[in-house]
Amino acid sequence: MKAVVVTKHGGPDNMELQELPTPSPGPGEVCIRVSRAGINFADILSRMGLYPGSPKPPFTPGMEVSGTVDEVGPDVEGFELGDRVVGSGTKGGYATHAIAKTNGVFKIPDEISFDTAAAFPAVYLTSYLMIIHPGALQKGESILIHGAAGGVGLASIELAKIAGAKTIYGTCSPSKHEFIQERGVLPVDRDNFLAGIMEWTDGNGVELVLDPIGGEHLMQSYRCLGSGGRVCSFGISDMAPGKKKSQWKRFKSWMTFPKFDPLKMMASNRGVFGIHLGRWRNWERLDKARKDLMKWIDEGKINPHVDKIFSSEKAAEAHHYIQDRKNIGKVLLSFD
């Protein structure tokens, strides 16, 4: 098989396409012949050596794919060769063949393209957990979405509307403000968002903030909350402001991560929670999320936005594209 391999931790150019043995699935697994692989920021952090639990080089990144079942592991039921599927939590998704546990794989109907399917799992499941449950955004509440023009951001806009959000605020590059405005989002200056939120809300704050950045930025997000508000931390991009691993930047970011005081949170009726899809273990909740999301796709309430598709030979270019903040929505790799 062909696979994109991270040869050493560092910049995007440390990835190359190699010929590797095709893996065979074990018990409870299937091998997927990959058509499209979704690129997530977790892949970028793994490439840089900053993602918790990521393997040591050489390794193939990629946690979500769409394609067809190529081989079924022992004792696996409910899947047959040729089934059109999408897999989340895959190992080595940047390849023509990827192994996935069946609890992270589900079939997709013929009318859903592989492009749409690959843009779906990680961003929408993450958004679901942050907004629907346990985030529990209520009808009439307001939300601030950082990185609103990215894959998770656009998914969160759609789910916030489904939840009945009163007002959706968003931060992103100024060049993308018009794009999110067209989707009903009020752009907020990303460099001075706390002041902007307090001005827009007359000092009352918002009920939910989604923060993928961490560090001091997370504390500023917390200060945007009103009474009963909560902030969800789901990323640490502050540790990776450049394209190469920097121990100093990582240490500096770590030192600025806020230490939340439970007594102060009680007194202000504000809270903090975190979401890490790769370590989520409530499978019943995840299965319900998948069913809800598929229903909302059928109803036309959500529509995964694919920004650009790169060929597998241009994986490094795709990572540059994302880290240069050029993308609006999801970026995919093609292995057809």
Q: Name 144's bridge partners.
A: 169, 209
pLDDT at 250: 57
- Whether residues 254 and 324 share a domain: the answer is no
Q: Establish if 265 belongs to a structural domain.
A: yes
Q: Establish if 45 belongs to a structural domain.
A: yes
pLDDT at 119: 95
CATH number of domain containing 178: 3.40.50.720
- Whether residues 171 and 271 share a domain: the answer is yes
Task: In whole angstroms, give the CA distance from residue 242 to residue 187.
Answer: 25
∠ CA 278-49-191, nearest 5°, is 80
Q: Establish if 300 belongs to a structural domain.
A: no
pLDDT at 225: 98
Q: Establish if 291 belongs to a structural domain.
A: no
Predicted TM-score of the model (pTM): 0.92
Count of other CB atoms within 10 angstroms of residue 234:
21
- Whether residues 80 and 149 share a domain: the answer is no
Q: Establish if 294 belongs to a structural domain.
A: no
- Whether residues 274 and 326 share a domain: the answer is no
pLDDT at 241: 64
- Whether residues 128 and 271 share a domain: the answer is yes
Query: Within the chain, which residues score under 70 in pLDDT?
Result: 239-255
Range of the domain at 225: 123-279
- Whether residues 111 and 182 share a domain: the answer is no
pLDDT at 240: 64
pLDDT at 255: 67
Q: Establish if 284 belongs to a structural domain.
A: no
- Whether residues 196 and 274 share a domain: the answer is yes
Q: Taking the CA atoms of 121, 126, 129 and 135 in sequence, report the sign of the dihedral they define.
A: negative
CATH number of domain containing 51: 3.90.180.10
Cβ pair 125, 296 in contact under 8 A: no
pLDDT at 249: 59
pLDDT at 245: 60
| Encoded tokens for 146 | 């950082």
* Tally of domains within the chain: 2
- Whether residues 127 and 91 share a domain: the answer is no
- Whether residues 14 and 73 share a domain: the answer is yes
- Whether residues 127 and 110 share a domain: the answer is no
Q: Establish if 286 belongs to a structural domain.
A: no
- Whether residues 249 and 309 share a domain: the answer is no
Q: Establish if 297 belongs to a structural domain.
A: no
- Whether residues 266 and 156 share a domain: the answer is yes
Task: In whole angstroms, give the CA distance from residue 155 to residue 291.
Answer: 16
